[in-house]
Amino acid sequence: MTALMTSPTRRRPSGAAPAGDSGRRGRLAVSRALLWPALATSIVLTQIPFLLTIYYSLQSWNMLRPGDRGFAGLDNYVSVLRDGSFLSSLGATVAVTGSAVVASTLLGMLFAVLLDRKFVGRGVARTLMITPFLVMPAAAALIWKWSILDAATGMANWGLGLVGLPPVAWNTELPMLTIILVLTWQYTPFVMLILLAGLQAQDKDVLEAAAVDGAGALRTFGEITLPHLRQYVEIAVLLASIMLLQVFDPIAIMTRGTGGTKTLSYLLYERAFVGLEVGEAAAYGVMTVLVTIVVASVALRTLFKVFSKEGIDR
Amino acid sequence: MTSSRLRGALITAVTWVLVLMFFFPVAWMVFTAFKPEHQAATSPPTFAPDLTLDRFGAVFDRDMLPYLINSFSASLGSTLLVLALAIPAAYALSIRPVTNVRDALFFFISTRFMPVAASIIPVYLLLQSVGGLDNITWLTILYVGVNLPIAVWMMRSFLAEVPREVIEAAQLDGARLGTEIFRVVLPIVLPGVAAAGLICFIFAWNEFFLANLLTAQVARPTPPFLTSFVDGRGQFLAVLSAAATVAIVPVVLAGWIAQKQLVRGLAMGAIK
């Protein structure tokens, strides 16, 4: 803390000439030394395996026939594209991700607005609401499947019965819906937390001025709050999309890819670790990465736009 | 005035109903965990069961403890390693001058966005060839790769808030780098370090894909172990609920306590 106290007198005047060239180079060397361990770890753990995946994807290689390994060119990609599984998996991925993101965003917005109001027990309500995102996804999938959505003893059908509706065979007839339900349940709190932060960052004076000017609550929300929330919605949607594109747990646990729920990550798992088709599965992996890159590049651009506003390059 | 107060009360009531509906699956799971097995999966549901701790006993009779220990060591180990790597890196990116801040940040975040699909096949084959499958150390190392980018981004956002003057003053005082980081900067960003650590711990604790694929018995963590409670031959809902309750309690409690920091971590530091 002494540093803080002495700072006003001993601080280098702003705009003073930077340290000499050698001093600057020395500082850069130190910075690199600080950065390097993390960079190297990331490269070794993620980039090198990815390069190997690309290499494998150009090989004909089934683990059941280890002697038969050889260069295959683009054969694996041709068979991936010819095989209907890729396209239908891509469709399933888009459907699962898209529906869960849209539903979580709408519900997350609703809960953020409701929990931004002052009311009795708001803190407790917020705490209860974030819980689904903290619950282990494997536990969530198991409990939803067997405790909530079971056709005979599940609570969902009991609830339907209370209001006079017939029971639904969720797990067997609506596998896609069960996956989307669980994912929406888990990601609504995520979106809510981000939007709640956005609502709290809102300029209260502007809202008061609007109220003084006689703008109704709905109009204030539509014309002031929503535009302000836009960047928060963007961040939430993009981060949720990226996490949901990779989703695996509920599919492995609840449906095992049946009923149109075989997403790209599950398909790859099946081909590689059940079918033992290394080359072909690697090609699926590369294709999955390409799909993700399309989404991620949009996401990154938005994130950086937000950061430039708050001065990332200072 | 009274009509607006009435409307307020109505909105509050609706809010509570919706929140409780959302929380219901968790509450029901915990409630079911305290039921005897024959009252767990019934139609209509049993609302006044004979409460018992018996199912928790059954969970530990099935030897859940080693799985929890595996989860704990992989989560804690990877979190500590991640922080040890991420704090210096974030420090270099936000306070010390590095030439390509944007490139480095872009690189880190892109590794987080890259699906496991990109690397899992070679990782599996390499581990298989060195006898590294079913080994908790390797799982811990892989979790470092998963969580490192989040920690770098979070720490960068916390460090960016340290007043420039504080660091410059320390440097002019002739403070060496170690002193600068440990005595001056770290105390200021300690809540940030805790938040980053917590998020990394939660992600590692809840991770299923790598845990399921790369472990079998010795190193198996909790998430894949939970699926073994589903039993085709008889009733299992109460014991499954008890196991799931035990599995979620540590991170749910931690998340509740640190919920203020949670939002920033979840948004990778994009939001304060």
The reply to whether residue A131 touches residue B23, judged by beta carbons under 8 angstroms, is yes
Closest approach of chain B CAs to the CA of A190, in angstroms? 8
Of A42, A144, A299, the CB nearest to B111: A42
- Assess whether B24 and B89 both reside in one domain: no
pLDDT at residue number A192 = 93
- Helix (H) or strand (E) holding A71, with range, is strand A70-71
Left, alpha or beta for A154 (phi > 0: left; psi -120 to 50: alpha)? beta
Place of tokens 């009360």: B9
Of A30, A134, A312, the CB nearest to B255: A134
Closest approach of chain B CAs to the CA of A152, in angstroms? 7
Q: Answer with the one of B36, B56, B76 that is the final residue of a domain.
A: B56
CATH (residue range A88-309): 1.10.3720.10
| B3 contacts chain A (CB < 8 A) | no
| B217 contacts chain A (CB < 8 A) | no
Contact predicate B252/A150, CB 8 Å = no
Q: Answer with the one of B39, B56, B73 that is the final residue of a domain.
A: B56
Closest approach of chain A CAs to the CA of B101, in angstroms? 8
Task: Please write the tens of the pLDDT for every residue from B228-243.
Answer: 888 877 788 889 999 9
- Assess whether B51 and B78 both reside in one domain: no
Token representation of residue A78: 């041709």
Task: Please write the tens of the pLDDT for every residue from B177-221.
Answer: 777 777 788 888 888 888 889 889 999 999 999 999 899 888 999
Contact predicate A93/A224, CB 8 Å = no
The reply to whether residue A135 touches residue B252, judged by beta carbons under 8 angstroms, is yes
CATH of the domain at B185: 1.10.3720.10
Cα angle value B214/B216/B220 (rounded, 5°): 85
| Cβ-proximal residues to B106 (8 Å cutoff; 6+ apart), any chain | A300, A304
Q: Answer with the one of B56, B86, B102 that is the final residue of a domain.
A: B56
Put simply, the chain B residues between 92 and 131 with a CB less than 8 A from any chain A CB are: 92-93, 96-99, 101-102, 104-111, 113-126
| B70 contacts chain A (CB < 8 A) | no
Task: Please write the tens of the pLDDT for every residue from A4-18.
Answer: 333 333 334 433 344
| Cβ-proximal residues to B175 (8 Å cutoff; 6+ apart), any chain | A3, B183, B184
In terms of Cα–Cα distance, which of B81, B112, B68 is closest to B205?
Answer: B68
pLDDT (mean) for A208-214:
80
- Assess whether B167 and B50 both reside in one domain: no
- Assess whether B93 and B221 both reside in one domain: yes
Token representation of residue A262: 């075989």
pLDDT at residue number A20 = 52
- Assess whether B160 and B252 both reside in one domain: yes
In terms of Cα–Cα distance, which of A128, A241, A264 is closest to A183?
Answer: A241
Q: How many CB pairs under 8 A join A and B?
A: 332
Range of the domain at B67: 63-266
- Assess whether B72 and B174 both reside in one domain: yes
- Work out how many domains chain B is built from and give that number: 2
- pTM of the predicted model, to two decimals? 0.85
pLDDT (mean) for A92-105:
90
Task: Please write the tens of the pLDDT for every residue from B151-174.
Answer: 888 888 888 888 877 777 777 777
ipTM, interface predicted TM-score of the complex: 0.89
Within a domain: B271: no
Report phi then psi at A149, rounded to 5: -100, 5
